[in-house]
C-alpha cells in the first residue's frame, strides 16, 4: 500500500472530508495508539475520536500517522516544492535537488529551515516504523523528488545542503559567576523558561553564555525579551545581538571533513561570528552572523560546496532546470527580471537584430530605447515625486543621457568628469538640472561644479572647514547618514558607521559655525541607504529621517531621498512596488505640508532605469569538460561585466543563437580573463552551445560598461543603442 496525501492542493474543508472518509475505513484500534488526544479525552471513543483527531492534524503529520497505521510501504507528501534542495531556491536557482537523505539528516535540515517544505514532526513516526517518506511536487509531477529513508544511497561524509534562517535573536550573558558554580546554567535556563522562551542553539565558555532563541511569538515580543534581560542582568552583563542569521551546513559526518571545509571557513574571515555550534549528532555545523551578510554568504558557501557537483544518485537537477521551463525565451521570463504576468523580455522580439550586431561588432552592450523610456515614465508618473535626477554612474552612454534629458530628468553626477561628460553630450542642458554629489573629491572638483552652476552636495565637514571661501554665498545640499545601510551586497550599502558617506548626527552639531563662516545656505537635504533595494518602505523611511532634520534649516526647499531602486535578478523575486513607494513618500509630504509648504521630494534612480533595458552579447569561444563540469567560455568576461565577480551578482544567461531550443546543458559560463573569479554565471541551464553561438546576458544595462576595464589588455565590450 502507498499512502498519498496531496496536502497543498486540498482546501481545509475538502481535506477534512477526505480524511474523515479515510478514517472511517481504518480500524480504530490501529489508529488509536498514534493519536495525540486532547487533554481529558478518552481513548475508548474508537472511530469518532480517530476521525476528529486526524481531521484536525497537520497534513504532513497526518499523512505520516496514517501511513504507519495502515502499514503503508511508502508515504508520499505532495506539495508545492519539488523536494529538498542544497540551498533555498529563491536566492540560489543553482541549488540542486537532494534525491536521498536519511531521517536524521532530513530532521536536521527541516528543523534549521525558516520555512520547511514539510512538517519535521512527521519524520518521527515514519522513522520508528521504517516507512520511507517521498516528497513530490504537484506542479512538477514528473520530478523525482526527495526520498527520506533509514538507509539512503551510500555516500561518504559530506555536506548535503545549506540552510539559512534569518530573523534570529541572540542573547549573550557575560559573567565570571559561571566558573565552577554548580547549577548556574540551570538557573539561567530557568529564566528563559519562565518567560516562555525556547532556546535553539547554545555556546558557552568559562565566562560567557550565548544562546539563540527559537522564533516563537514570545521571542518576537519586545516586552517579553526586555523582561528576560532584566532577570539576566541580576546574573551578569546581558545583551541582545541581532538581527542575525543562522547558516547551517547539514550532512552526516561533518566532523570527519572539517579539514576539507577550510576554504569554506575562510569566507568568515572578515565577518563577526556571533555563535558557532556543531551538533552532537555530527549532522550540522551552524554559524550565526549579522543578518545583512546572510544572502551573500549563502551564495558564496553554496558556490564553494556545490558548484562542481554533477547530477547523479545523490543530487538531481537544479531548481532553475526544474522550474525555468525547457525553452529559451519562454524559460527566462522571471529569470530575465520579469515577474509573473509581465511581458516577455524585449530582446526576444529583436533576436535577429541582436545576432546581426554580435556578428558584426563582437562583444557588445545593447540598450533598448523603448525599455529606457518605459522605466523612466513609470517613475515620472508617481505623484509624490517632484523631480528625478538620473544617476549617471549607472550608464553614461550619450544616447541614454539624451533620451532621459528629453523626458525632463536631471542628472546626478559624482565626479567633475561626469559633469563634463553630461555637458558635452547635452550642450544646452540647464545648469539647475545638474546635481553634484561627490565623496572625498579634491577641492578642484567642487570649484568646477560650482563654476558650471551645478547644485553641490557636501557630505563631509572638511570642505566647509578647509575651503570656506569657495562656498561663499552658495546654496548647498547636505548629505546625511540615515544610520542603516540597505542593498543587495555589503559593498553597495552606503549608510552606517562603516560607510564613508554622509554626515552623522554629531557632525550636524558642529555645522552652524562652519556655514556662518562660509556664508553658505543649506537648501536641500540628501540621504542614500544603498543600491538594489526592493523594499518599498525604504524611501519613506529616508524621507522621514530627512524631515526630522529639516527644522534645523529654515531655507530648505527639497528633500532628496536618494536612489538604489532594485530590479528582480533571480527567479521568484518580486519587483519593487512603485505604488507603495509613492504612498510612503506621499505620507511624509502631507505631514510636512503645514511646517514646510512647497517642500519638494527628489529621487535619484540609476540602475532601475537602465538595467533591464540592456544586454551583453558575447560569442562562444571554447567549450570544456572537467571533473563532470561543463564550461562554456565566451569572448569577454569580467573586463566587460564585473558585477558577478565583485558583488556575486546574478545575471540571467540564454543561448540567443538557439533561442526556443530545449535548455538541456548545464554549464559554468566563463570569460577569457586570467582570474579564477572570471565567472559570469554558475550552473546555468542553456540550449546546447557550440563555438560561435551568441550568449545573451540579461539585466546588464547598469554598471556594466561603466565599470569595465582593459585588464589583460583585452578591450571591453562596445555599446549600441537600439532605437
26 is catalytic: no
Cβ-count burial of 88 within 10 angstroms (0-12 exposed, 13-18 middle, 19+ buried)? buried
DSSP strand pairing (100-102 vs 161-174): unpaired
Q: Which of 131, 106, 140 is nearest to 2 (CA)?
A: 131
Whats the size of the chain, residue-wise?
A: 723
What is the b/e burial string over 627-654, where b = at least 16 CB atoms within 10 angstroms of the residue's CB? eebbebbbbbbbbbbbbbbebbbbbbbb
Say which residue the cell 564550461 belongs to: 631
Contact criterion met (CB below 8 Å) for 476 and 458:
yes
Catalytic residue among 26, 191, 413, 674: 674
For residues 370 and 247, give the distance between their C-alpha atoms in angstroms, rounded to a whole number: 42
- Cα dist from 108 to 149, 452, 467, whole Å: 14, 63, 61
Specify whether the CB–CB gap between 329 and 579 falls below 8 A.
no
Cβ count within 10 A of residue 417: 12
The closest of 619, 615, 569 to 395, measured between CA atoms, is 615
β-pair type (387-391, 600-603): parallel
Q: Nine-digit cell at 682?
A: 554558475
Q: Which long-range contacts (CB under 8 A, 24 or more apart) does 462-467 make?
A: 464/511, 464/514, 464/515, 464/517, 464/518, 464/520, 465/514, 467/443
At residue 304's C-alpha, the angle toward residues 300 and 308, to 5°, is: 130
- Tell me which residues are annotated as active site: 674
Amino acid at each position: 500500500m502507498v499512502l498519498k496525501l496531496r496536502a497543498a492542493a486540498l482546501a481545509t474543508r475538502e481535506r477534512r472530508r477526505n480524511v474523515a472518509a479515510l478514517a472511517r475505513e481504518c480500524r480504530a484500534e490501529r489508529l488509536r495508539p498514534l493519536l495525540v488526544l486532547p487533554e481529558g479525552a478518552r481513548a475508548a471513543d474508537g472511530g469518532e475520536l480517530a476521525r476528529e483527531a486526524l481531521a484536525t492534524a497537520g497534513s504532513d503529520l497526518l499523512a505520516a500517522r496514517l501511513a504507519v497505521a495502515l502499514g503503508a510501504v511508502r508515504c508520499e507528501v505532495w506539495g508545492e516544492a519539488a523536494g529538498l534542495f542544497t540551498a533555498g531556491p529563491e536566492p540560489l536557482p543553482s541549488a540542486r535537488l537532494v534525491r536521498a537523505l536519511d531521517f536524521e539528516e532530513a530532521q536536521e535540515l527541516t528543523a534549521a529551515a525558516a520555512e520547511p517544505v514539510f512538517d519535521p514532526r512527521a519524520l518521527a513516526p515514519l522513522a520508528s516504523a521504517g516507512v520511507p517518506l517521498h516528497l513530490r511536487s504537484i506542479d512538477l509531477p514528473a520530478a523525482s523528488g526527495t526520498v527520506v529513508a533509514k538507509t539512503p544511497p551510500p555516500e561518504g561524509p559530506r555536506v548535503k545542503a545549506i540552510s539559512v534562517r534569518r530573523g534570529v535573536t541572540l542573547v549573550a550573558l557575560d559573567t565570571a559567576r559561571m566558573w565552577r558554580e554548580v547549577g548556574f546554567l540551570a538557573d539561567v535556563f530557568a529564566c528563559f523558561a519562565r518567560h516562555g522562551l525556547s532556546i535553539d542553539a547554545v555556546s558557552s565558555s568559562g565566562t560567557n553564555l550565548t544562546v539563540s532563541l527559537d522564533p516563537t511569538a514570545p521571542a518576537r515580543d519586545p516586552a517579553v525579551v526586555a523582561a528576560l534581560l532584566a532577570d539576566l542582568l541580576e546574573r551578569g552583563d546581558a545583551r541582545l545581538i541581532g538581527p542575525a542569521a543562522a547558516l547551517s551546513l547539514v550532512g552526516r559526518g561533518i566532523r570527519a571533513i572539517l579539514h576539507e571545509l577550510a576554504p569554506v571557513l575562510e569566507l568568515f574571515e572578515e565577518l563577526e561570528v556571533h555563535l558557532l555550534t556543531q551538533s552532537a549528532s555530527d549532522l550540522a555545523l551552524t554559524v550565526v552572523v549579522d543578518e545583512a551578510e546572510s544572502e551573500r554568504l549563502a551564495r558564496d558557501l553554496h558556490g564553494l560546496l556545490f558548484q562542481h557537483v554533477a547530477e547523479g544518485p545523490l543530487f538531481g537537477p537544479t531548481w532553475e532546470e526544474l522550474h525555468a521551463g525547457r525553452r529559451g525565451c519562454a524559460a527566462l521570463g522571471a529569470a530575465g527580471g520579469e515577474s509573473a504576468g509581465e511581458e516577455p523580455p524585449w530582446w526576444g522580439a529583436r533576436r535577429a537584430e541582436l545576432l546581426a550586431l554580435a556578428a558584426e561588432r563582437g562583444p557588445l552592450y545593447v540598450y533598448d530605447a523603448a525599455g529606457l523610456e518605459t522605466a523612466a515614465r513609470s517613475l515620472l508618473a508617481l505623484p509624490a515625486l517632484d523631480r528625478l535626477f538620473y544617476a549617471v554612474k549607472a550608464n553614461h552612454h550619450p544616447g541614454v543621457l539624451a533620451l532621459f534629458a528629453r523626458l525632463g530628468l536631471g542628472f546626478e553626477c559624482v565626479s567633475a568628469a561626469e559633469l563634463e561628460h553630461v555637458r558635452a553630450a547635452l550642450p544646452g542642458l540647464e545648469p539647475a538640472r545638474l546635481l553634484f554629489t561627490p565623496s572625498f573629491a579634491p577641492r578642484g572638483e567642487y570649484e568646477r561644479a560650482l563654476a558650471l552652476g551645478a547644485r553641490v552636495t557636501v557630505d563631509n565637514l572638511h570642505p566647509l572647514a578647509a575651503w570656506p571661501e569657495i562656498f561663499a554665498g552658495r546654496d548647498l545640499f547636505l548629505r546625511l547618514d540615515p544610520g542603516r545601510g540597505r542593498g543587495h551586497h555589503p559593498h553597495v550599502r552606503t549608510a552606517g558607521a562603516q560607510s564613508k558617506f554622509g554626515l552623522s548626527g554629531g557632525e550636524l552639531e558642529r555645522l552652524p559655525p562652519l556655514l556662518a563662516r562660509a556664508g553658505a545656505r543649506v537648501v536641500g537635504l540628501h540621504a542614500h541607504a544603498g543600491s538594489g533595494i526592493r523594499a518599498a518602505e525604504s524611501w519613506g523611511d529616508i524621507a522621514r529621517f530627512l524631515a526630522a532634520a529639516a527644522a534645523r534649516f529654515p531655507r530648505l526647499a527639497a528633500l532628496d531621498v536618494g536612489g538604489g531602486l532594485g530590479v528582480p535578478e533571480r527567479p521568484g523575486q518580486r519587483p519593487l512596488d512603485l505604488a507603495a513607494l509613492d504612498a510612503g513618500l506621499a505620507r511624509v509630504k502631507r505631514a510636512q505640508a503645514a511646517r514646510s509648504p512647497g517642500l519638494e521630494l527628489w529621487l535619484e534612480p540609476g540602475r532601475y532605469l537602465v538595467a533591464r533595458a540592456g544586454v551583453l552579447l558575447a560569442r562562444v569561444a571554447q567549450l570544456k569538460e572537467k571533473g563532470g563540469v561543463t564550461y562554456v567560455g565566451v569572448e569577454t568576461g569580467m573586463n566587460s561585466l564585473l558585477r558577478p565577480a565583485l558583488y556575486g551578482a546574478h545575471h540571467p544567461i540564454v543561448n540567443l543563437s538557439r533561442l526556443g531550443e530545449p535548455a538541456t546543458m548545464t554549464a559554468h559560463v566563463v570569460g577569457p580573463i586570467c582570474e579564477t573569479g572570471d565567472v559570469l554565471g554558475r550552473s546555468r541551464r542553456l540550449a546546447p552551445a557550440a563555438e560561435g553561438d551568441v550568449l545573451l546576458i540579461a539585466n546588464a544595462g547598469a554598471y556594466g560598461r561603466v565599470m569595465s576595464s582593459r585588464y589583460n589588455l583585452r578591450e571591453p565590450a562596445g555599446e549600441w543603442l537600439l532605437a
